[in-house]
Chain A
Amino acid sequence: MRRNVAIIGCGQTKHSSKRRDVNLAEMVSEAVYNALEDAQVSPRDVDAFVVGNMQGFGGIAQPEQWLGDSIGAPGKSVIRIATGGTTGGSVGQGAYYTVASGLHDVAVAVAWEKHSDSKEAGATTGLLHVGLGNFFHAASYGLSLKNLVATSAVGAAAGVAVYQAMFYMYRSGCSIEHFDMVAAKARRNAAKNKYAHLQWPGCTQEDIAKTEMVVYPFRYGHICPASDGASAIVVAEENLARKKARQPAWFKGLAAYSDEENQLQSENFGGVGVLDPSEQKGCWMSATKAYEMAGIKDPKKEIDIAEVYQPFPSQELIFAERLGLFDEGTAWMALEKGETDIDGRMPLDPSGGVNATNAIGSTALQRILECALQIMGKAEEHQVPRKVHNAVAHGWGGVTSYITVTVLGDSPGR
């Protein structure tokens, strides 16, 4: 029988493109100690750490071996989880399992990225290994360099998401102007979040529309930054949670499903059977399972805010629909009406989201953390102006089709 589990403390670092004032271990421990302080828990009370960042990023294969001492992990249980872009989501869920199983009473989940330690854009050492075997195999059978340059590199940072965006535009009827609106909203919201990276008070759709076209339909202003930063949550069993937190953020439901690789090549240069990469069946499956566990029957009515993993603005719209918050192909209409603003009917990414702050390993944990802040009433300037009973946090990654969904609430729900 699983135990009720809640988040009782949250900690982040300030995010920026270069945190030159700290090394990796110092940056991660900054988030951990901020979370412990918020939870009013002593480091001695922590039984277990679940940690993670992107594989190989920052030029370090086993960062947990270095930073363990700094976060107070010696003599305690430590698990590192790495699932690509969803790493933070998996780390947060890992901390839940650790406590819900009864194995430990208090666990800290911490995730991070320190992009600026890499001299290459996007810290590509970690990303390349996903496709290297396939690439060398294809290269040995005369892969066309022109084709490679065009299909892989023209998209650059926008790579896989730009195709998703085109599919979504075609089937939903939304336009590039809606992506401008989402990106402007992300920067405006981020300006209210003291930890966020790309802050732009009063940013408008027109401001984003003026930025250079990277590859149609993505402009420079649509693309997330590469951030240095870390985030941490303290997760505790029910008795301690009730004692320590005035309003704990309870884990009500969670799931992590994958679909088949849906965009590039399957193993050995084989094709893929998913015709629409914006279909994201893994997200729909994860949301269905997480809502079922949380006892949520109508997410449109029962979810109060969502933190959607949206490095690109199109993804806020695609995934909000897959999370059941809007009908198929209608999220952009809700955006037009202001329903997804901080003070709207269904606020999406009130923190500014990944589009404004992207320390990759940390970003999906930040979605959980931000939902917790909203439930606990601690989101300060970006707190939504009504009581949040249920919030949903989403992560996207793996081979473009792996999803984490976590539902938090103001009561355990059972």
Chain B
Amino acid sequence: MGYVKEERPMTIGVEGTWNIGSYHYKGSRLIEEYVKGLKQKKLIGSFCPGCGKVIVPPRNLCGRCHRIMDRRKIVSNMGTITCFIVSPPIEKGKLKVLGMDPVETGLIKEGEVVIPVFVKFDGSDSNTDTILLNADPKAVHIGMRVKVLWVKEPQGALSDFEGVEPV
């Protein structure tokens, strides 16, 4: 008994794909309450009776007190940036997401600088991760005041909330 290795300088590479299959993931109805709020340009969160935190989007259980968060609260459309990161100018052929080039598909403009941010909306106790739009990348800072940028005609979808912009 001991270390066994086939006598050869190199392994043989064999191509293969793994289809990990199709599933029925189980979602919660809470997201429906949230998107109904978005249609009315309202941000809905859930309230924890244990620690008093308001979490946006709403969730069933408080992560730390494990209490059921069955009350809803509407929080402000205005908030504060708690964290940001800044991409270099995005160029065609540099980034692939879900198998597509976001510049080629028009999701991001050639040379666009993308600024993902965390925002704590007034009246909430959570960060919402989204993007900062209509802003100078050099001016962005932690503590910057922002407001929700809604699409012109909200449809009751997560995409009603385009991002945030400076106040």
Contact = CB atoms under 8 A, between A and B. Distances in A.
Interface string A260-294: 11001111111111111000000000000000000
B116 interface: yes
Interface stretch (A194-202, A211-219, A317-325): A211-219
Interface string A28-43: 0110110000000011
Interface stretch (A81-89, A90-98, A143-151): A143-151
A298 interface: no
Interface stretch (A104-112, A133-141, A305-313): A133-141
Contact of B25 (A26, A136, A151): A136
Chain A contact-residue range equals 35 or more
A411 B66 CA distance: 40
Given A132-B25, A140-B27, A268-B30, A154 B126 contact: no
B27 A144 contact: no
Contact of B10 (A21, A264, A266): A21
B56 interface: yes
Contacts of A22: 5, 11
A32 B60 CA distance: 45
Given A70-B4, A154-B114, A166 B84 contact: yes
A242 interface: no
Nearest to B59: A270
Nearest to A155: B85
Nearest to B143: A170
B11 A148 contact: no
A149 B159 contact: no
B113 to A, nearest CB: 10
Contacts of B167: none
Nearest to A214: B88
A282 to B, nearest CB: 12
Contacts of A213: 88
Interface string A238-251: 00000000000000
A142 B118 contact: no
B97 A153 contact: yes
Interface in B28-65: 28, 30-32, 34-35, 45-46, 48, 51, 53, 55-60, 62-64
Contacts of B102: 146, 149, 153
A214 B131 CA distance: 17
Contacts of B86: 215-216
A29 B157 contact: no
Interface of B is mostly: loop
A293 B1 CA distance: 38
Interface string A380-392: 0000000000000
Contacts of B78: none
Contacts of B85: 154-155, 162-163, 166, 215-217
Contacts of A214: 88
B135 interface: no
Interface in A36-66: 42-44, 56, 59
A70 B55 CA distance: 50
Given A23-B11, A30-B3, A33-B2, A147 B130 contact: yes
Contact of B114 (A144, A150, A269): A150
A20 interface: yes
A43 B1 CA distance: 7
A275 B127 contact: yes
Interface string B72-110: 000000000011111110100001010000100001100
A101 interface: no
Contacts of B124: 271
A147 B53 CA distance: 26
A142 B56 contact: no
Contact of B1 (A30, A44, A267): A44
B31 A138 contact: yes
Contact of B131 (A26, A146, A268): A146
A211 to B, nearest CB: 12
A141 B154 CA distance: 13
Nearest to A261: B63
30 contacts: A20-B13, A70-B4, A132-B25, A137-B27, A137-B31, A140-B27, A141-B35, A142-B35, A142-B157, A144-B159, A146-B102, A149-B107, A150-B131, A151-B129, A152-B97, A154-B85, A163-B85, A166-B84, A170-B83, A213-B88, A216-B86, A264-B129, A269-B30, A269-B34, A270-B58, A271-B55, A272-B55, A273-B48, A273-B53, A273-B55
4 nearest CB pairs, A to B: A142-B157, A270-B59, A260-B63, A268-B28
Given A144-B162, A150-B116, A214-B88, 14 more contacts: A23-B11, A29-B5, A33-B2, A42-B1, A72-B1, A142-B35, A142-B160, A149-B108, A215-B88, A268-B59, A270-B59, A273-B53, A273-B62, A273-B63
